[in-house]
């Protein structure tokens, strides 16, 4: 049996929002922003799911 792994960037990289209920998505973006998953979830609760707003808050 062959296992097919996705090739190319993670699918979340192409999205403009974060789904806080998707654990693997939170882990991916927490690593990208160099924060803990808990910190990222807290920011999502404050500013919403939009990646641009999250990026702004984390860079402030």
Listed by start position, the domains of the chain span: 11-59
CA distance 37 to 43: 10
Joined together, the tokens standing for residue 8 give 């190319």
Residue 60 confidence (pLDDT): 82
Please give the torsion angle defined by the CA atoms of residues 26, 36, 41 and 16, in that order, rounded to the nearest 10 degrees.
Answer: -50
Residue 10 confidence (pLDDT): 57
Give the model confidence (pLDDT) of 34-48 as tens digits.
999 999 999 999 999
CA distance 54 to 43: 7
Do residues 42 and 58 touch, judged by C-beta distance below 8 A? no
The pTM of the full predicted model, rounded to 2 decimals, is 0.74
């Amino acid at each position: 049996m062959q296992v097919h792994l996705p090739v190319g960037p993670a699918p979340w990289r192409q999205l403009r929002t974060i789904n806080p209920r998707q654990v693997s998505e939170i882990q991916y973006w927490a690593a990208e922003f160099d924060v803990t998953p808990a910190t990222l979830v807290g920011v999502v609760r404050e500013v919403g799911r939009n990646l641009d707003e999250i990026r702004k808050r984390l860079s402030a």
